[in-house]
Amino acid sequence: MSQHHPLSGNSSSKRSPPFSLRLSEQERAYLIDRANGAPLSAFIKSQLFDKKPLRARRTGSIIEDREAFAHALALLGKSELSRNVASLARAAEVGALAVDPDTEAMLLIACQQIQHIRTMMMIALGLFSERFDDP
C-alpha cells in the first residue's frame, strides 16, 4: 500500500474546500506586486510549496489604472465613433462625402476624441504616466 504525501496534491477526485486568509491592504498590495500579474492565490501557493514560477495572466498587460481604463471604455461606448467613422468611410468610397467646413470640423473632433481615448488606454496600461483633463 502506497502512502500519500500531504504536499504532493490531491489523491482523490474530490476538491478540498478553499482556504481563506485575511491580509491588510499593505500586505495584499505587496503580494500583488510580487505576483507580477499572476493570480494571487496561485502565486502564494507557488511560494509556499516551491513550485515553478508562474506566468502572468493570459490577458497580456496589467491594467495600472482601472479607473482610467473604465472611463476610456465608457467614452467609446457613448461616442458611436466606430459607426460614424464607418459611415464616413463608406461615403468616401462611393464619392458621396462632401468635405465642407462643417464636415472637416467634425472629422477633426472625431480624431481628437480617438486620440484622447487612446491616451487614456495607454495610461491605464501603464504606458503613459501623465494625467490630463477631458476634452
| Same domain, yes or no: 51 and 76 | no
| Same domain, yes or no: 48 and 76 | no
| Same domain, yes or no: 70 and 116 | yes
- Assign 130 to helix, strand or coil: coil
What is the pLDDT, as a whole number, of residue 134?
Answer: 45
Cβ–Cβ under 8 Å, residues 81 and 114? yes
CA-to-CA distance for 53 and 45, rounded, in angstroms? 10
| Same domain, yes or no: 86 and 48 | no
What is the pLDDT, as a whole number, of residue 1?
Answer: 46
Containing domain of residue 27, as a range?
A: 20-58
* Residue where a domain terminates, one of 58, 75, 108: 58
Q: Which three cell numbers stand for residue 91?
A: 461615403
pLDDT tens digit sequence for 5-40: 555 555 556 888 888 889 899 998 898 888 877 788
Q: Is residue 50 part of a domain?
A: yes
Q: Compute CA 21 distance to the chain's CA centroid, rounded to the nearest angstrom.
A: 26
Task: Tell which wins on pLDDT, 46 or 77.
Answer: 46
| Same domain, yes or no: 50 and 71 | no
| Same domain, yes or no: 91 and 48 | no
Cβ–Cβ under 8 Å, residues 40 and 31? yes
Cβ–Cβ under 8 Å, residues 64 and 32? no
Q: Is residue 134 part of a domain?
A: no
Q: Is residue 135 part of a domain?
A: no
Q: Is residue 14 part of a domain?
A: no
CA distances from 38 to 12, 33, 45, 51 (A): 27, 10, 11, 13
| Same domain, yes or no: 76 and 44 | no
* Residue where a domain terminates, one of 42, 58, 74: 58
What is the pLDDT, as a whole number, of residue 2?
Answer: 46
Q: Is residue 130 part of a domain?
A: no
CA-to-CA distance for 35 and 55, rounded, in angstroms? 9
Q: Is residue 119 part of a domain?
A: yes
pLDDT tens digit sequence for 79-125: 777 787 888 888 888 888 888 888 888 888 878 888 887 787 777 77
Instruction: Say how many domains are in the chain.
Output: 2
Answer whether 0.85 is exceeded by the pTM.
Answer: no
What is the pLDDT, as a whole number, of residue 135?
Answer: 43
Q: Is residue 33 part of a domain?
A: yes
Q: Is residue 2 part of a domain?
A: no
